[in-house]
Amino acid sequence: MSLLSPALRDLLQTWLTHLKSIAGASENTLEAYRHDVTGFLSFLAVHHGAAAGLEPLRKITPSDMRAWMAQERRRGVSARSLARQVSAVKSFYRWFAERDGFEATAVLATRSPKFQNKLPRPLAKDAARAMIDTVGMQSRADWIAARDTAVVTLMYGCGLRISEALSLTTSQTPLPETLRIVGKGGKERVVPVIPAARNAVAEYMRLLPYPLDPQGLIFRGARGGPLSPRMISKVMEQARLQLGLPATATPHAMRHSFATHLLEAGGDLRAIQELLGHASLSTTQAYTAVDTARLMEIYNRAHPRGDA
């Protein structure tokens, strides 16, 4: 931040505050935006001879954008990461231009570098079940084994992100047949809770050696504090090595597997979109890793033509 003038620092903070209060951006999102836009603004400060004030930002040119992107590539930034940075800068400029009433075409018309989307790698059904069974064998403490089994069962059985599973509170137990989950960006969704997940959480809570705060988190670390996502990643890593599964068998892969297996069983794509909390159907399509032929089969069955 040292390269930024006070005016630039204030502008950036005002934008981030706007994102948090109006758009409901998460802390992780805000930190990523802060990092990306700070890097961009620092480049401009050097590029323009550390010019103070906001005027150089308003007079930005396509040449400035090309110079910044070229520098990032020389630093070894991947096309995927640079595309994310460009998106953050565009978001910032969209707000800034609207607030100050100037034209930001030089930024908004910038083309992001192309990159190949990495499709998620769901586990096979038997591998997903084996993962749930095996994570419970990694600890000698019965309550920790039950805890790990419960978390992984929630991710696979309910399609929860690991952060969502670890955010469950005592007030939500015993788990009901449906849960109201607050996901990314504060987006709410209702997910059904399968009996296996309810039973796994109940067994963990029965064995838990620590007292539960009525409004506190369910899942605890070995010393009683909040459970770190890293601990679940670690126990899944141990389990996948024992099972001979690839490195893609991560906590997030359980959510991928939930979606893919539902679709393979004939689930409706839009219903799965709702369960996952995706804003876009195209996101769900990529998430479930299905091919075009399979999608057309589902669409034709769910939305038959009137002239058929």
Residue 256: Cβ-neighbour burial (10 angstroms; 0-12, 13-18, 19+):
buried
Question: What value does the mean pLDDT take over residues 243-250?
Answer: 88
**Per-residue b or e along 288-307, where b marks 16 or more CB atoms closer than 10 Å to that residue's CB:** bbbeeeeeeebeeeeeeeee
Q: Is 278 known to be catalytic?
A: yes
- Average pLDDT score over the chain: 82
Active-site residue, from 58, 84, 121, 184: 184
Q: Is 252 known to be catalytic?
A: yes
Output 298 or 174, whichever has higher pLDDT.
Answer: 174
Active-site residue, from 33, 93, 156, 161: 161
Question: What value does the mean pLDDT take over residues 5-28?
Answer: 83
What whole-number distance in Å separates Cα of residue 205 and Cα of residue 219? Answer: 9
- When pLDDT is cut at 50, 70 and 90, the band that residue 1 belongs to is very low
For residue 236, the one-letter residue type is: M
Backbone CA torsion sign across 105, 106, 108, 111? positive
Residues 78 and 115: beta-carbon distance below 8 Å = yes
Nearest by Cα to 202 from 234, 177, 174, 221: 174
Q: Is 161 known to be catalytic?
A: yes
Count how many Cα atoms sit within 13 Å of the Cα of residue 268 in the half-sphere of its side chain: 7
Those residues with Cβ within 8 angstroms of residue 65's Cβ, 6 or more apart along the chain or in another chain = 106, 107, 110
- When pLDDT is cut at 50, 70 and 90, the band that residue 239 belongs to is very high
Could you give the domains of the chain?
Answer: 6-108 (1.10.150), 125-302 (1.10.443.10)
Q: Is 255 known to be catalytic?
A: yes
**Structure confidence at residue 210 (pLDDT):** 93
Residues 86 and 107: beta-carbon distance below 8 Å = no
On the question of pLDDT at 304 being above 70, the answer is no
Active-site residue, from 147, 198, 255, 256: 255
What is the token pair recorded at 281? Answer: 């159907």
Active-site residue, from 252, 261, 294, 305: 252
On the question of pLDDT at 152 being above 80, the answer is yes
Least trusted range by pLDDT, from 113-117, 153-157, 196-200: 113-117
Angle formed at CA 228 by CA 226 and CA 231, multiple of 5 degrees: 130
pTM: 0.59
